[in-house]
C-alpha cells in the first residue's frame, strides 16, 4: 500500500497555502491540475473568489458565518435553478404514521418527544431517490433520502437524512458542484438518474473526501429491494441539551424491522423496465394491506471528551462513528400506517428543513449541516412560492403556533387586531417570547481567527473507505468491484478512469488491481498524494448489508406461474405455505383471464406472464402440467421467468410440469431449487438468496 511522507505533504501544503487559502481537507489537489490560462472564478458581481472549497467560519472548527456572501450567493442561485420540482430528491414516496418513545432520554434532553415514554407523536415520512427527476424510475443505483417530520407537542422536528450515514462532501459550499456533476449533463440532457457518466466521476476524482461515500454508493445499499428495507440516518452530529444546559452529542439511526434487503444489479435494471414504480407500488400495497412498515429509532450518545479520542472528526459528514466504538441505544419506533389522501398535496408539498428543531435539541458545527440550515429554507421559498408554506396542512404544526409574521403570497390565515410586532402594550393576548421554556442554543465559547479553512482533522479521506471495504464479505466486495467497473466503463475520458483507480490504491490494493483488470488498464496509476497516513481501522461487521438481512419471508412476494390445467391442490398448498410465512402470492399466467385449474375452477390471475417477470418477486413457484410446460418451452417470457430467478439467486419451487420448464430453460438444480413436495424447505430457502450460486452464474471480476 503506497504511503506518503506526512511531514513532506504538510510542507507542500504550507507552500500551497501561501498561494491560496485552500484547506488541509482538500489538499490543494485542484491547484495541482489548474492551468495558467483558466479564467478567474468570480461571484455574480465580478468579485474574484479565492477559495471555492470552504465556507467562512468563526474559527477552524467553528460555525459558518452568515456574512459569507459567496456561500449564500452560490447556494441561493442553486436552490432557485428549477421550479417547482425539487432539484434533488424529486422522486419521492411518503406516508403518515407515528413515533412511539420506548426509552427516555431525560438525562440528556428536555425535548418531550424524547422524554415522554409511551407518547405517540404523529409524523410524515418521505423516502426518495436523489439524482433523478420526479418522472424517473424508482430503482436506480442511488442514495435514498430519508426525511421524517415529527409533529411534536413543542413544534415540528424535521430529521432530514439519507439511507447512508456519510456524505460526499465536507462543506456545504461544494453541494451545488456535487449536484451539478451528478445530474444529467447540461449539453445533452442525459443520463437521467445515473452516476455512470463523465461529469460525476470527474468531480469525484478531484474530491478525495468523497471516497468513503463512493464505497457506500457502489455497494448494494443503493439497490434496495424495498423502501421498507432500508436504514435511515441523520448523517450529522446533533446536540441534546438537558435541564442543566449540559450538552451531549448524538447521532440518529432508523433501523427497519423488516431487516435490510437489496437487489442484484442485473435484477435492478430489469425491474426498472418491468415496473418503474416498483418501490412506490410495494410501499402502497404494504400499507393498504395493513403490513405497516416499521423502524426502530436508535441513538449514539457521546461527550466532547469521548469525541476527542476518536481517530476521526465526528463533525466531518464524510465519516461515521462505528457501532463498535459507540453502541446504538434503541429509544423508540416509527410505524407508517396511512397512505396520503392526495399524493400532490402531501408527498409533493411536504417541506423538510434541518433547521426545524424543538427545545432540547441543537445543532453541531458540522460545516455541511451549517450550510443546509440556510439552503433548505431558501429552497422551500422557491419551490412552494411563498414564505407561508408552513401553513399547508402537511407542513403545519399540530401544536398551537403564533407570531407576528404577516401577509405574503398565499397567506391562508386571517390574523386580527392592530398589532403585528413584539413587544407591545396594545394587545394583551399578543404572543411574547418565553425565556424559561423557549428554544435555547448551546452556550458554546467561540474563539479563533475567522477564515475559509477546514481543520486538519478533516484531512483523512481514505481510512474509513478502507474500513468499509475491508468490512464487507467476499460477495459484497465483488459487487462493489463490479459496480465500479460498470460505472467507470461508461466514462469516456481515460484520465478519469486512471484517477479513480489511483484513489482505490489507498483503499485496497487488490481492489485497485481488480478494477484495473475489469477496465483493461495494464499498468496501475500512482496513488494521489495524501495529507495524512491512511489508517487500518478495525473491521466493522455492522457495516455489512447481507448480515443485516433478516431470516424471514414476511412482507415479501412469491410469484406463482400457472397455466391451463395446473393442479388446484398444489396451488392451494403453495398459497398456505407462503401465507404462513407472512408473505403473499401473486398468480402469473400466460393470460389474465380464462385459466382453468385441474378442478375446473377459473383461477384469479394477478399478472400476465410477459408483463410480470420474476424480477418483481422474491421467489417463484412453477405449478404446471406437462402439456402446458411443453407449450411454454418456446415462450421466451416463460424461460426468462425461470432463468432470471435462478440468475438472481432466488429460490424456485417446481412440480412435475415445472421441471419440464426448468429443463427447457437449462437450469441445473441446487439447494434452492426445490420440489413442491418440500414446501417447508422452499419457504426456508426463499427467506434469503443463495449466495453460493452467484460464482457460477456471475463469476466475480
Which residues are known to be catalytic?
89, 162
Instruction: Tell me the C-alpha distance between 367 and 58, whole Å.
Output: 11
DSSP 128-154: EESSS-TTS-S-SS--EEEEEEEEETT
Do residues 655 and 567 make contact, with C-beta atoms less than 8 angstroms apart?
Answer: yes
C-alpha distance across the termini of the chain, in Å: 21
Phi-psi bin for 360: left (phi > 0), alpha (psi -120 to 50), beta? Answer: left
Instruction: Tell me the C-alpha distance between 642 and 621, whole Å.
Output: 9
Do residues 319 and 533 make contact, with C-beta atoms less than 8 angstroms apart?
Answer: no
The SS3 call for residue 76 is: helix
- Cell matching residue 472: 464487507
Residues 298-331 as b/e (b if ≥16 CB within 10 A, e otherwise) read: bbbbbeeeebeeeebbbbbbbbbbbeebbebeeb
Task: Indicate the pairing of strand 294-302 with strand 247-256.
Answer: antiparallel
Instruction: Tell me the C-alpha distance between 28 and 698, whole Å.
Output: 41
CA gyration radius, the chain:
27
Do residues 52 and 21 make contact, with C-beta atoms less than 8 angstroms apart?
Answer: no
> Quick one: DSSP state of residue 602?
B
Which of 297, 253, 369 lies closest to 114, judged by CA? Answer: 297
Phi-psi bin for 27: left (phi > 0), alpha (psi -120 to 50), beta? Answer: left
Instruction: Tell me the C-alpha distance between 644 and 271, whole Å.
Output: 11
Instruction: Tell me the C-alpha distance between 188 and 402, whole Å.
Output: 48
Name residues whose C-beta falls within 8 Å of residue 43's C-beta, 6 or more positions apart in sequence. 49, 69, 70, 73
Which of 228, 223, 224 lies closest to 257, judged by CA? Answer: 228
Do residues 241 and 361 make contact, with C-beta atoms less than 8 angstroms apart?
Answer: yes
Instruction: Tell me the C-alpha distance between 374 and 372, whole Å.
Output: 5
Amino acid at each position: 500500500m503506497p504511503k506518503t511522507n506526512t511531514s513532506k505533504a504538510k510542507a507542500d501544503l504550507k507552500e500551497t497555502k501561501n498561494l491560496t487559502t485552500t484547506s488541509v481537507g482538500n489538499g490543494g489537489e485542484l491547484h495541482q491540475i489548474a492551468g495558467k490560462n483558466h479564467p478567474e472564478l468570480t461571484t455574480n458581481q465580478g468579485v474574484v473568489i479565492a477559495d471555492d472549497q470552504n465556507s467562512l467560519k468563526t474559527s477552524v472548527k467553528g460555525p459558518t458565518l452568515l456574512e459569507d456572501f459567496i456561500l449564500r450567493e452560490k447556494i441561493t442561485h442553486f436552490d432557485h435553478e428549477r421550479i417547482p420540482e425539487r432539484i434533488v430528491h424529486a422522486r419521492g414516496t411518503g406516508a403518515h404514521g407515528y413515533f412511539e418513545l420506548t426509552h427516555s432520554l431525560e438525562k440528556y434532553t428536555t425535548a418531550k418527544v424524547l422524554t415522554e415514554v409511551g407518547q405517540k407523536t404523529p409524523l410524515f415520512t418521505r423516502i426518495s431517490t436523489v439524482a433523478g427527476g420526479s418522472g424517473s424510475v424508482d430503482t436506480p443505483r442511488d442514495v435514498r433520502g430519508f426525511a421524517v417530520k415529527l409533529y411534536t407537542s413543542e413544534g415540528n422536528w424535521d430529521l432530514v437524512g439519507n439511507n447512508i450515514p456519510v456524505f460526499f462532501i465536507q462543506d456545504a459550499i461544494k453541494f451545488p458542484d456535487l449536484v451539478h456533476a451528478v445530474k444529467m449533463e447540461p449539453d445533452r440532457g442525459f443520463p437521467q438518474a445515473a452516476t455512470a457518466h463523465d461529469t460525476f466521476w470527474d468531480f469525484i476524482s478531484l474530491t478525495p473526501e468523497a471516497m468513503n461515500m463512493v464505497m457506500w454508493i457502489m455497494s448494494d445499499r443503493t439497490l434496495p429491494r424495498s423502501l421498507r428495507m432500508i436504514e435511515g440516518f441523520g448523517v450529522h452530529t446533533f446536540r441534546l441539551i438537558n435541564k442543566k444546559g449540559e450538552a451531549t452529542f448524538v447521532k440518529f439511526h432508523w433501523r427497519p424491522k423488516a431487516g435490510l434487503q437489496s437487489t442484484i444489479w442485473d435484477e435492478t435494471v430489469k425491474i426498472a423496465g418491468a415496473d418503474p414504480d416498483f418501490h412506490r407500488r410495494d410501499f402502497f400495497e404494504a400499507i393498504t394491506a395493513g403490513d405497516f412498515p416499521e423502524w426502530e429509532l436508535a441513538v449514539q450518545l457521546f461527550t466532547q471528551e469521548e469525541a476527542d479520542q476518536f481517530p476521526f472528526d465526528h463533525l466531518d459528514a464524510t465519516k461515521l462513528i462505528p457501532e463498535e466504538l459507540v453502541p446504538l441505544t434503541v429509544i423508540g419506533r416509527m410505524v407508517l400506517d396511512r397512505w396520503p389522501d392526495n399524493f400532490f398535496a402531501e408527498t409533493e408539498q411536504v417541506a423538510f428543513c434541518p433547521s426545524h428543531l424543538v427545545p432540547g435539541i441543537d445543532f453541531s458545527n458540522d460545516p455541511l449541516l451549517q450550510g443546509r440550515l440556510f439552503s433548505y429554507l431558501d429552497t422551500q421559498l422557491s419551490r412552494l412560492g411563498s414564505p407561508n408554506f408552513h401553513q399547508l396542512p402537511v407542513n403545519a404544526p399540530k401544536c398551537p403556533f403564533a407570531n407576528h409574521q404577516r401577509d405574503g403570497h398565499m397567506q391562508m390565515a386571517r390574523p386580527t387586531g392592530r398589532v403585528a410586532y413584539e413587544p407591545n402594550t396594545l394587545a394583551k393576548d399578543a404572543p411574547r417570547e418565553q425565556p424559561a421554556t423557549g428554544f435555547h442554543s448551546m452556550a458554546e465559547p467561540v474563539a479563533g481567527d475567522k477564515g475559509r479553512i477546514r481543520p486538519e482533522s478533516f484531512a483523512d479521506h481514505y481510512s474509513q473507505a478502507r474500513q468499509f471495504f475491508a468490512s464487507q464479505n467476499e460477495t459484497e466486495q465483488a459487487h462493489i468491484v463490479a459496480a465500479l467497473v460498470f460505472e467507470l466503463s461508461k466514462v469516456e475520458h481515460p484520465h478519469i478512469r486512471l484517477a479513480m483507480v489511483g484513489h482505490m490504491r489507498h483503499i485496497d490494493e487488490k481492489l485497485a488491481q481488480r478494477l484495473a483488470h475489469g477496465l483493461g488498464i495494464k499498468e496501475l496509476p500512482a496513488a494521489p498524494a495524501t495529507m495524512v497516513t491512511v489508517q487500518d481501522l478495525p473491521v466493522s461487521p455492522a457495516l455489512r448489508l447481507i448480515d443485516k438481512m433478516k431470516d424471514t419471508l414476511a412482507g415479501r412476494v412469491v410469484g406463482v406461474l400457472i397455466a391451463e390445467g395446473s393442479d388446484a391442490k398444489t396451488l392451494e398448498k403453495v398459497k398456505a405455505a407462503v401465507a404462513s410465512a407472512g408473505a403473499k402470492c401473486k398468480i402469473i399466467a400466460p393470460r389474465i383471464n380464462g385459466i382453468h385449474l385441474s378442478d375446473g375452477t377459473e383461477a384469479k390471475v394477478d399478472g400476465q406472464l410477459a408483463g410480470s417477470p420474476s424480477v418483481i418477486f422474491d421467489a417463484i413457484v412453477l405449478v404446471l402440467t406437462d402439456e402446458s410446460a411443453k407449450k411454454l418451452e418456446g415462450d421466451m417470457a416463460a424461460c426468462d421467468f425461470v432463468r432470471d430467478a435462478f440468475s438472481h439467486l432466488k429460490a424456485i419451487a417446481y412440480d412435475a410440469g415445472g421441471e419440464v420448464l426448468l429443463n427447457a430453460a437449462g437450469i441445473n438444480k441446487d439447494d434452492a431449487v426445490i420440489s413442491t413436495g418440500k414446501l417447508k424447505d422452499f419457504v426456508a430457502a426463499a427467506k434469503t438468496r443463495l449466495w453460493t450460486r452467484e460464482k457460477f452464474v456471475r463469476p466475480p471480476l
